[in-house]
Structure 1
Amino acid sequence: MKLGTVLAGGDKRVACIFGDAGTAVLAPRELGDVVSIIQAGDVAVTALRALENASNAERVSLADAKVLAPIQRFTRDVLCTGWNYWDHFYESEGKREGQDVPKPDAPTFFTKAPGVVIGPCDDIAFDAAVSAKWDYEAEIVLIIGKGGRSIPRDKALSHVFGYCLANDVSQRDLQRRHGGQWLKGKSIDGTMPLGPWIVLRDDLDLQKTTIEFELNGTLMQQASASQMAFPVDELVSELSFGMTLNAGDILLTGTPSGIGNARTPPVFLKEGDELIARATGLGELRNRMRKTDLAGYQPL
């Protein structure tokens, strides 16, 4: 089963895909949004699974609906992992926009403002006045299903609800302008596609999952999730150490090598570019860079 959010008949509805990818089953409204379902746990998931063969289930053709970002409500910033593929860490040496750090012994975490999130096929808000160095980063996302603090590594996977995709579009010059840290250079409104559907944890073999990114039809990134420097169970355990994770939180798990900023010459995104991020079993994000006035004013 895949879980997500669609716009159908003018309403945002939770939807499930079972076997037929062209048809979605709409969840009963009383179950709430996707975050409410995640928080409800196994009881809600069991109720959704029962809809697959229910004769009275409300169904919609995806041709008549718009697939939105599966998570529509955030109770905290988007959680992220940096440098979680060693080839990406090494390709970025000398190009880290103000940062010069040794190879980390533990995962590197940062956050993005939730206003970045857009749907899996939405246009990315591109404003050349905001940044001249727009970059792409295809990533696998994990969704926390059961909250906790200081979660032992051997129990960490039981706290994962499922997985989806994100494109962590970044503004490299903003990273340098603001001290080399990542919050500002990764928090521009309307720039991070998320989705298209959440695949439940036990329905995906992450070790056999390949993630790819294409820019205007050219393959720029490709890696196996098994190449992560710090695997999912370690990420969850380390991030939760002394810090409470909540059901419905999302964590980007890092991007592989091939980013534009690390290439010679660099490859930066421009208006009209087509971006496709995909992964085995997780579907794809397909977006275009669309000219948008985000600046409003020019900082001194």
Structure 2
Amino acid sequence: MKLIRFGEPGHERPGIVDPSGAIRALGALVDDISGEHLSRAALGRIAAVDPDSLPVVPPHVRIGPCVATVRNFISVGLNYVDHALESNAPIPPEPVLFNKLTSCVSGPDDPIVLMKGSEKTDWEVEVAMVIGEPAYLADEAEALSAVAGFCVCHDVSEREFQLERGGQWMKGKSGPTYGPLGPWLVTPDELDVGNLDLWLDVNGQRMQTGNTARMIFSFAKIVSYISRFMKLMPGDVITTGTPRGVGMAMNPPRFLKAGDVVTLGVTGLGQQRQSVVPHRTV
């Protein structure tokens, strides 16, 4: 299934994408695509409904973040071999964890609003997991049973704030609009998660290409590892790292500026498009 949320910011409604690509409204079944509706049982009830029986949503509606009320937004850094090498960082022996604050979450095609004073806002295409079942001390073999679905994440990153302001990566990772999610939340049965292509363009120029086969730590390993330290709960989002091609690794470095357009996508998960705009109160 491809689950989706549509409508104006703060007023999104739940939907499902039918085989033709049309959005069908799910409001008669669930009030939103949120943690309480992401368990295996809840997803099974949605899957049992014939999409043709649901109302069609008019085209050109705004698409919101594919999951509502994100509880925790956990990120894995340096998780692709080629990105660790381009960052002049050693291959990590354990997953590198940091947080994005949930106030950064935005829709897949909403503008990226530059943080005040930003000179080094960078791009990172990633695959994110959304948790559907509680997971604590999960064995790697069972870890993916806790995952409701996967989605595209743009881990927008202000590198000066992240790396040059005294520690705590989240300072450069959590600006409003710095965490686009979606367009779809895709259930695992539709994907070969070990072989997903990722790509990102800036102004039509290809910057990043990669494949999840190049991840240092697998999706299952990541869920199992994180669950050693905290109890993952339905609605939590885990974004899993980016391939090579980020702006800070270029010579000279290149960063986003107002007027740029970023497009990115992942096999089976859809694509995003964001215009970059100057700082404003969001």
**Which TM-score applies when normalising by structure 1?**
0.88
Aligned partner (choices 55, 65, 68) of residue 69 of structure 1: 65
> Where do 4+ consecutive residues of structure 1 move more than 6 Å?
none
Equivalent-residue separation in structure 2 for 1:52 and 1:141 (angstroms): 27
Q: 1:6 to 1:153 in 2, by over 3 A?
A: same
Q: Is the 8 A contact 1:5 1:69 kept in 2?
A: yes
Report what 2:27 is aligned to.
28
| Matched AA of 1:244 | K
Report what 2:152 is aligned to.
165
1:82 matched to 2:77: yes
Report what 1:4 is aligned to.
4
Report what 1:117 is aligned to.
105
Residue deviations 1:14-61, cap 9 Å, x none?
00012011x21111345222114544x233223322333553x22213
Q: Is the 8 A contact 1:130 1:294 kept in 2?
A: no
**Which TM-score applies when normalising by structure 2?**
0.94
User: How many pairs were matched up?
Assistant: 281
- CA RMSD, Structure 1 to Structure 2 (Å): 1.9
Report what 2:42 is aligned to.
44
Report what 1:298 is aligned to.
none
Aligned partner (choices 56, 59, 65) of residue 56 of structure 2: 59
1:108 matched to 2:96: yes
Residue deviations 1:212-245, cap 9 Å, x none?
0101101110011111000001000000003100
Equivalent-residue separation in structure 1 for 2:30 and 2:123 (angstroms): 35
Instruction: Give 3-state SS (helix, strand or coil) of 1:71's partner.
Output: coil
Q: Is the 8 A contact 2:77 2:241 kept in 1?
A: yes
Which structure: greater strand fraction?
Answer: 1
Instruction: Give 3-state SS (helix, strand or coil) of 2:108's partner.
Output: coil
1:278 matched to 2:265: yes
Equivalent-residue separation in structure 2 for 1:3 and 1:164 (angstroms): 10
Residue deviations 1:53-103, cap 9 Å, x none?
553x2221333x211111221223x1100000011111111xxxxxxx643
User: Unaligned 5+ residue runs, structure 2?
Assistant: none
User: Unaligned 5+ residue runs, structure 1?
Assistant: 94-100, 296-300
| Matched AA of 2:26 | A
| Matched AA of 2:130 | I
> For the pair shown, which has the larger CA radius of gyration, 1 or 2?
1
Aligned partner (choices 180, 185, 204) of residue 172 of structure 2: 185
Instruction: Give the CA deviation at 1:11.
Output: 4.9
